[in-house]
């Protein structure tokens, strides 16, 4: 079994300072939180940005500040979200790719969330995948439902994504696939041999899904993007969630990957975007 790649997703689009004082909002806060998490054992940083008032943002200069800060202060893999909750048009979601992160998230289908349709039409997904391929950015296929695996395989068939593919199974969102061991097992058995996968359990599913992934040979994403609690009624800091996964992995006999090891496991180009930092 490969070493465990831990992704930290510190901010996302949902948590606010009204729900937790621990969510990093400004680029400086996001970088500082990621640095702590990388020191604790995370090797991939999954980045969203916010306006100063906390609203989700598509602003290039904010993404640039985070990218530059992370490249200066860590050797972690930078993974930028192309999620559409802050702005849905192709240009809004693709401009940040010009920062040439080593990875970017790519949701391969649409979902009925409680607040409305999270729309990822096929032509938009293909354009985002094509731009990532041009810039040698590895997509992390964000899988909210089983049919989205097929959407990712379709991109590979069309030459818009290069196998081996990397998947992130996002389980437990209202309106998408529930976080059960059976659903996780089905997804793992559905992706092609040689693929890598991470699991993001939402809310209280974060902890059990992380344990399943550690045992099954997958990788783990934690962070306030997906879950703001350490335990019932106890708010978490990002670093608390990373440290817990590191302890669990150690107890379960699964070593944790360094950023360099994560690059090899995930099949990222040597050097990559981190080498081009400035």
Q: How far is the CB of 221 from Zn ion (least distance, A)?
A: 9
**Centroid of chain to Cα 241:** 15
Q: How far is the CB of 15 from Zn ion (least distance, A)?
A: 12
Contacts of 106 (CB under 8 A, 6+ apart): 82, 125, 128, 129, 132, 139, 140, 141, 142, 152
Cβ closest to Zn ion, residue 223 vs residue 259: 223
Q: How far is the CB of 234 from Zn ion (least distance, A)?
A: 23
Q: How far is the CB of 270 from Zn ion (least distance, A)?
A: 26
* Dist. CA 169–CA 192, nearest whole Å: 14
Going by C-alpha positions, the residue among 278, 277, 274 that lies closest to residue 77 is 274
Cβ closest to Zn ion, residue 22 vs residue 225: 225
Cβ closest to Zn ion, residue 46 vs residue 254: 46
Cβ closest to Zn ion, residue 74 vs residue 81: 81
Contact present, 259 and 34 (Cβ < 8 Å): no
Cβ closest to Zn ion, residue 74 vs residue 200: 200
Q: How far is the CB of 12 from Zn ion (least distance, A)?
A: 5
Please report, as ranges, the residues that interact with Zn ion according to CB under 5 A: 81
Cβ closest to Zn ion, residue 74 vs residue 105: 105
Cβ closest to Zn ion, residue 2 vs residue 65: 65
Going by C-alpha positions, the residue among 106, 99, 65, 62 that lies closest to residue 84 is 106
Q: How far is the CB of 79 from Zn ion (least distance, A)?
A: 9
Contacts of 251 (CB under 8 A, 6+ apart): none
Extract long-range pairs of 115-119: CB within 8 Å, 24+ residues apart: 118/84, 118/85, 119/84, 119/88
For the four alpha carbons of 161, 263, 48 and 190, in that order, the dihedral sign comes to: positive
Q: How far is the CB of 163 from Zn ion (least distance, A)?
A: 23
Place of tokens 């904010």: 62
Residue nearest to Zn ion (CB): 81
């Amino acid at each position: 079994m490969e070493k465990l790649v831990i992704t930290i997703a510190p901010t996302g689009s949902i948590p606010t300072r009204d729900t937790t004082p621990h969510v990093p909002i400004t680029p400086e806060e996001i970088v500082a939180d990621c640095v702590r998490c990388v020191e604790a054992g995370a090797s991939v940083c999954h980045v969203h940005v916010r306006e100063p008032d906390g609203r989700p943002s598509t602003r290039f200069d904010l993404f640039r500040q985070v990218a530059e800060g992370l490249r200066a202060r860590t050797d972690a893999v930078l993974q930028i979200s192309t999620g559409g909750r802050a702005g849905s048009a192709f240009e809004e979601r693709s401009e940040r790719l010009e920062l040439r992160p080593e990875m970017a998230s790519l949701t391969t289908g649409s979902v009925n969330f409680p607040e409305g349709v999270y729309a990822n039409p096929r032509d938009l997904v293909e354009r985002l995948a094509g731009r990532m391929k041009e810039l040698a950015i590895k997509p992390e296929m964000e899988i909210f439902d089983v049919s989205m695996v097929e959407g990712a395989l379709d991109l590979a068939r069309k030459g818009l994504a290069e196998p081996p593919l990397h998947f992130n199974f996002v389980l437990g969102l209202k309106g998408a696939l529930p976080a059960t061991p059976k659903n996780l097992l089905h997804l793992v058995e559905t992706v092609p041999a040689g693929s890598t996968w991470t699991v993001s359990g939402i809310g209280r599913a974060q902890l059990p899904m992380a344990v399943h992934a550690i045992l099954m040979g997958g990788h783990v994403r934690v962070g306030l993007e997906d879950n703001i609690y350490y335990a019932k009624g106890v708010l978490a800091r990002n670093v608390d969630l990373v440290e817990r996964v590191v302890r669990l992995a150690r107890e379960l006999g699964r070593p944790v990957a360094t950023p360099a090891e994560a690059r090899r496991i995930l099949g990222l180009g040597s050097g990559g975007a981190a080498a081009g930092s400035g």
